Amino acid sequence: MLLIFSVPRLFSSLDLSHINSFIIEMQKDNSFAPTVVNDVEKKINNSISWHSGVENQYLKSIFLYQQLKIEAQKHSDIHTIINKTDHATKEALQLNPIDPFSWYQLAFIFYAQGQPDDVIINVLKYSIYTGPVEKDLLYGRILFMSDYISVMDDELTNLFKFQLLLLWQLKLHDSVTLIVKKPKLKSLFIDALSFSTEDQLQFNRRLKKAEKKNSEK
């Protein structure tokens, strides 16, 4: 009997490896035929039917989130996929409420649903609280939050400046690229570096070079 139950679990673990690889390709903005996408979703649901743990639920939410982003970029009808992604992400958060990536996903979902700014901002706060130094989230989270500067309260403004400081310390090149893309962040960025005149000068030098290079394109 034990062998009978272990075989499907073995296939489930093999499927997870395939699903992980598939999601990595999706994160590179590679699109796939609907039949392929449906097949992967079936494998995820099959894996969850044998083990509905954190990893499987998280994989499902990530898979649907990537699907949602791809469909949104194509300006497709996202009504069905957004509801599925919303449900899967909330399921993942119930199992692991301290995952910053899931909170970030939920903020994007709420944005796509047209939720009020204060609802989106509140979810972004949780993403920062649960993972303030997540390198893979820093740039995207700052870029996302930059659209809400005008409605940020003091608490979120300070959290935002802290994110800017971390980006400078961990991904210096990305921080300069960000300001070239979003000039309105410059004053906040300089304020975030107020602890060090040397860092402010270095930032200004790098920014001038980047702006000059960008204008020559």
CB atoms within 10 A of CB 27: 12
Same-domain check for residues 168 and 81: no
19 in Cβ contact with 59 (< 8 Å):
yes
For the stretch 138-180, pLDDT in tens is 999 999 999 999 999 999 999 999 999 999 999 989 999 999 9
Q: Which domain-ending residue is among 116, 151, 166?
A: 116
Establish if 125 belongs to a structural domain: no
Establish if 141 belongs to a structural domain: yes
Q: Which domain-ending residue is among 116, 147, 182?
A: 116
Quick one: three-class SS letters along 198-214? Answer: HHHHHHHHHHHHHHHHH
Same-domain check for residues 112 and 140: no
Same-domain check for residues 12 and 95: yes
Same-domain check for residues 107 and 185: no
Q: Which domain holds residue 47?
A: 8-116
Burial of 193 (0-12, 13-18, 19+ CB in 10 A): buried
Same-domain check for residues 140 and 102: no
CB atoms within 10 A of CB 40: 19
Establish if 101 belongs to a structural domain: yes
pLDDT for 1: 37
The domain tally of the chain equals 2
Average pLDDT, the chain: 83
44 vs 116, residue with greater confidence: 116
pLDDT for 8: 40
For the stretch 96-105, pLDDT in tens is 999 999 999 9
Q: Which domain-ending residue is among 54, 85, 116?
A: 116
pTM: 0.79
36 vs 176, residue with greater confidence: 176
Establish if 127 belongs to a structural domain: no
